[in-house]
Each structure stands twice: as C-alpha cells, then as structure tokens.
Amino acid sequence: MFRIRRIFDDVIPVNRDALVQVREILKRRFSQASETEIDHIGDKLRNPFTLRFRPILFVAENMRHKVMGFAMVLHEPEIDFCYLDWIATANASLRGGLGSALYERVRSECSALGVGGLFFECLPDTDITCDQDSPKENIARLRFYERYGARPLVGTAYETPVKEGDTCMPFLVYDGLGRDKPLGRDYARRVVRAILERKYKDVCPQEYVELVVTSIRDNPVKLRPFCHVKPEKAQNTVNPSFTEKIALVINERHEILHIHERGYVESPVRVRSILTHLEKSGLFESMATQDFPDTHILAVHDADFIAYLARACEEVSPGKSLYPYVFPIRNKTRPPRETTVLPGYYCIDTFTPINRNAFPTARNGVNAALTAAHALVDGRRIAYALVRPPGHHAEKRAFGGFCYMNNTAIAAQYLRGHGRVAILDIDYHHGNGQQDIFYNRSDILTVSIHGHPSFAYPYFTGFEDETGEGEGAGFNLNFPLEEKITPKEYRITLAKALRRVAQFEPDFLVIALGLDTARNDPTGTWSLTPADFKANGRMIGETGLPILVVQEGGYKTRSLGINARNFFQGMAEVIFRVTGRKTLYDLRHKGLTLRYEPLPEDRIQIEQLVEATGFFRPDEVKIAGELVGERLEQGAASGYYFVIALKAGKVIGYGCYGPIPCTLKSYDIYWIAVSPDLQGQGLGKILLLEMERLIAEAGGGGIYVETSMQPGYATTRSFYERFGYSCKAVLDNFYGPGDGKGIYCK
C-alpha cells in the first residue's frame, strides 16, 4: 500500500524527512546529477524565483513514510506548460503500478492546471553512443510513455550536441494530456527557449539556444510515430479524480451528550446531517480518533477551570442539567462554595449547562481536533475535525455558548509546535475564546468575521478596536458585520481577512467553521447559500496553506450537510486540483527583477525606502546609505553584499548581508527593507531566501540577524522565526532604555 501526496515545503519534519529520501533516490538513480542540484531540491520549493518555474513535488510513500518514488514537475504559468524534471522509483524501473501511479498523478495535475502540454527529456532508444546497458532501459522508458501517447519531437535540432564530443543527447518528449490539438510551432519555440535558458542556463550558450529554437520550423510540430506501442493501445485520457483526500476525524461518542430541553439546538443530529452529505462526495478519508494527554488542554485553559468541569459534570445526576444563574462579577477572587452557584463563576451565559456527559464528550472532541491537527503534521493538506459540542466560545477559564473546551485553540497551540499558525473564525458569532486565549501573543494570529456584538452573541467581545495587547498588539483582528449583509459583502470581508492571514505568513491555517451563517439558521441573520459556501471554500483554499477545519456552530439541520459539502468541494478543487495557478513564486510582483550590484542612483532610493518604513531613526537611515556607498567604492572588499528588488526601474525592496569579520563561515544579514505599499506580499520572503541561497553558495555556515525587542518589532521577529531563525541572546537596553537587542541565528 502506498499513497501519493504533494510536498509543498520543508516546514514540517515529515516533509523534511521525505526530501532526504528523495535526495537519496536521486543519488542512487541519477549518478550524473550534480551534488548541488540534489542538495538544493528543497530550496526549489521554498524559492522558485531562482528557477523561474513553480516546482511541484509528489512522493509515493507507504504508511510508515518510506518514500518509494517521486516526481518533480516544473510549472510555467505564463507560457503555460509543465516540464517533468524528475520521475523515479526507489527500484530500478518505472514499470509497474508505482511508476504508472506517479506519472498519472503528474498528468492529472498538469491537466488541471490547464497547460498546453507536458514536456520532458528521455534518452534516445536509437543512439549507439549511449552506455552499453542504456538502449534497453531507454526503450523501456519510451515504451512506458508511449502508453500515454507521449512521443519525441522530430525534425528539430534539440538533440544537437552542445559542444564537440557530447554524446547520447536526449529527446524532448511531448504529452498532449489527452487533447487532440496539435503542437503549435510558436508555442513549442517558447517552451524550448524557456527550458534551455532557465534549466540549462549554465550549460547552453545563447547561440546554441537560438540554433535549437529556430530549428523548429514545422507547424504543427511533428512527433515521432509510435515505435513501441500500437497507437490504438495508447491511453491518452487523463483521470480527473482527486487522488488526495481530506482527512476526516469524527467525535464518535458525541451522541451521549443530548440535552432534550425545548429550544436547545446543539444536538447529535447536527453531525449526522453533515456526515450524510460528506460520505457521498468522495472527498474524504476517515481517520480513527487518537488519545492525547491533558497537557495540550492545559496549554490553553487554566487547570482549575478544567478540574472544575471534570468534577462538576461527574457530580450531576444522569439526565439532569445544572444551569448557571448567579455570576460573581463583583468579586472573582472568591469563588462560591455552593455547587448550584459555582457554574456562574466559570460560565459566560445562562444557557450552557453542566451535564454528566458534557465533559467526556468535549474531552473526546479535543482528541478528535488534535488527531486532525496531527494529520497536517503528518503531511495531509486538509483535515476536518467534525466535532460537537463546539468550542470557540470557551475562554481560558470560562465556558459558554454550548462550548466547554476550545478545540480550535487547542489544535492551533499543538500546530504552533511545528510552525506559525493563523486562526480564521467564520462562525456567525465572535470567536471570543481564541481572542481571550491568544490576546497577548504574536505567534498565533486570530481573525474573526461575525455578527456585530451590538446584536449577536456573545455581545461583550468582537469589537473592531480589540486588536491585542502587549506582544500581541496587532495580532487580533475582528470584522463585526451588520445584521443583514449580502453574500458579496461577506466575500469582500473574507478577502480582507485572508489578506491579513497572508501578511502573517503562517505555516498552518486553522478554520473555525460555523455553518450558522447560512440562510434561515435559527441563531443567525445572514443568508449564505450552498454556492456561497463553495465560493468561500475556494477563497480559503487559494491561500495554499495546510488547512485544519474545526466544526463550530450551525443549527439548521436540513441545510448543514449540503453547505458543508459545498465548502469542502470548493476548497478541494483549489488545493488538490489546481494549486499553482498563481504566477511564479506567488508573483504578486509581476515584472520584478533582482540586481546584485548597487548603482550610484540607488543610494538615495534606498535611504528613502528605509525612511518610508517608519522603523528607523535618521542616523540609521544614514547608515543604510553609507553601506551602499562603501560597496560602490570598495566592491567586495567592503564586506557588504546586496540583493536589490526593482520594478519598472524603481527600488521596491532590498537586502544587505556580508561575512562577519574574524569568523570562518558566519554571515550577518544587516538589512531587509520593503516599500510600505508592498509589505505583506511576499517580497521580504524573496529577498531573505535569495540572500540565504547566495550565502550557502559562498560556503557560509550560521546566519545572524539583530533586531529590536520592542513590541513594535514583533512582526519583524515573527518574520525571521517563520523562516527558522531562533533568538539566541537578548542584550537588555542595547539600543536605549527599555530597547533590547535580540540576536537571532539560523
């Protein structure tokens, strides 16, 4: 048994381990590949800018994460083609189920991207200059690809040796992905130019590129006749079905919590209504709930609160419920002793009861949420915790709103151990629980779209001016909306929320999914339809992040299932089928170029850029310009190196780095500055990763960054932490009273 999954990055350990195994397969199967190319395969995923292709990596692995094979595809969205860079199995041959499964997954992805074709190289089956054992292997490979209708281009100079003495030059093979449209000459020329100028930029001189490109004269371009497979046997069609599934984890014991009081809408039928529709979709793969220790709960909830819940629920008689009715707002430091009064000490409303089955059901819901979170850590791209009771109203030391423990917050805290986390709450009611728990933290972003607290529960939180405190200032964002809104107005707000998520650059996105935003929900006033939920799912999926969805509210049982199904359908269509439609390296910066040597006119532009950020004193702005001047006067002897981002000839961002004097391999990143109107759009990431690449090529070891420890620099510190830098030391009062210097290292 094996599964094929896409590796998007090397953030989580399971992906890093998979990349190690991919490198081993490359070394074993492709002895001609350079050590640099093999070692930097992870860099290609993180920084596609260096390739000018968007890399797509698939691995086939068994249930123990042993990689059995892989395929690396390069997507060029502007010319609109894909290039199969590598495909290999751990064993010697592509033949058999594993090789076919990998190639079919590649074809499915390329077809979904809507490209004009899939191209790749294959050694010739006719060249006697190849290695003695190669012809048989080459024949087997070309026979394998012919089964899918893929054949070499003929009548071109693609197989021409680059230099005298080169032998065994490869064919360029074209797979039309099941379409009958012939390969056009102009399109083929653009494809070949991109391959030679980008992939082989260090091998092919420009005159060779022009020779090969201009040799493509036939229109349409001719393909070699079938040599190894009868044409009628070729399987040209592409399987459009999803090969990846959404991990589904259900709180299996939720039915034991069934409060029969009139008007109590949080009932077991909610889960059954959703599950009935999900089972028909073919999108999900069920996972058994695993047990997790209480330490994960106590990481977000106070111990005395959890102890009270466990004890109080156990003490209530079966079939009975105890509702809060007295609330100690005058003296919270002295909890009452009377058990019938105590619920109000820990509760925020009068309709969420203490019940014998409330604690065990909520506790099992936590296990389900953590199981789903772990599925992301284990390499899944989407996981859904279908749980009840909900949790997003549960605060650090309070329950309410049908919520006892905050599943969303607990799962987010768990994921924080593996990367940066953003929470987006799209329940009709404000996610006061996450806000309360993370309000003073900058490492977990909390965003909530909800009905305005002037009319919607919980009434006392969710206002726009609640933005976080201390270290968390600016990391809590509320979008309170009017009582009646249109679906278009909702999507406009969702787009704003997702822009803030993108600026945070998280590794994981946790969605607190409330289906009570739907038309005719008994607890809401909005009117979203199944089509709206699908559109919202697509928008969230476009983030390209690993996504954990935790079920929160939604009480119109007749529409719960169809709305949930449409939400996940929209998300899956983006993540599983067409991820990568965006331009290169998340190119919101089309027309961006990088330059590595400053020009005299750059000095004033860089000073103006640094000043415009608003972070630096006049003397610091002056130093930024002086470093440019030293590089202009002394060149490399200055010890300062630059990566300058330009658009339409204007400096829009830059980085400055250099070796640390009196060290052998240590480097310092002195500056990264981005134009204020482009901040949060990925340009800082491009600059940092490019400097890291250049430092690695220069043989650098540790990289050091120094920054202020003031609250205003929390976003700067979070930026470096996002890319694996850790704070090794803090020098108090270094920049001034109360302004310490943090020294970060990677």
Peptide bond into 220 cis (omega under 30): yes
Comparing CA positions, the residue from 298, 381, 308 lying closest to residue 347 is: 308
Q: Is 396 exposed, middle or buried (0-12, 13-18, 19+ CB in 10 A)?
A: middle
Determine what percent of the chain falls in helix, strand and coil, rounding each to the nearest 5. Answer: 40, 20, 40
- CA–chain centroid gap for 547, Å, is 8
Spatial contact of 77 and 19, defined as CB atoms under 8 Å apart: no
Q: Which residues contact 207 (CB under 8 A, 6 or more apart)?
A: none
- 480-508 burial code (b ≥16 CB/10 A, e <16): bbeeebebeebeebbeebbebbbebbbbb
Spatial contact of 467 and 448, defined as CB atoms under 8 Å apart: no
Please confirm, yes or no, whether 258 is among the known catalytic residues. no
Alpha-carbon torsion, ordered 309, 310, 312, 316, to 10 deg = 130
What is the distance between the alpha carbons of residues 420 and 43, in angstroms, rounded to a whole number? 19
At 52, list the tokens.
């000018």
Comparing CA positions, the residue from 381, 325, 410, 299 lying closest to residue 575 is: 381
E strand or H helix at 476, and its extent? Answer: strand 476-481
Size of the chain in residues: 746
E strand or H helix at 448, and its extent? Answer: strand 444-451
What is the distance between the alpha carbons of residues 426 and 449, in angstroms, rounded to a whole number? 5
At 707, list the tokens.
């920054």
Q: Which residues contact 506 (CB under 8 A, 6 or more apart)?
A: 419, 420, 421, 422, 445, 545, 722
φ, ψ (nearest 5 deg) of residue 493 = -65, -40
What is the distance between the alpha carbons of residues 63 and 273, in angstroms, rounded to a whole number? 31
Comparing CA positions, the residue from 249, 288, 274 lying closest to residue 567 is: 274
Spatial contact of 468 and 557, defined as CB atoms under 8 Å apart: no
Catalytic residue among 393, 418, 430, 589: 393
Q: Is 588 exposed, middle or buried (0-12, 13-18, 19+ CB in 10 A)?
A: middle
- 36-65 burial code (b ≥16 CB/10 A, e <16): eebebbbbbbbbbbbbbbbbbbbbbbeeeb
- Where helices occur in 431-587 by DSSP H, the ranges are 432-438, 487-504, 530-541, 557-572
Active site (catalytic) residues? 393
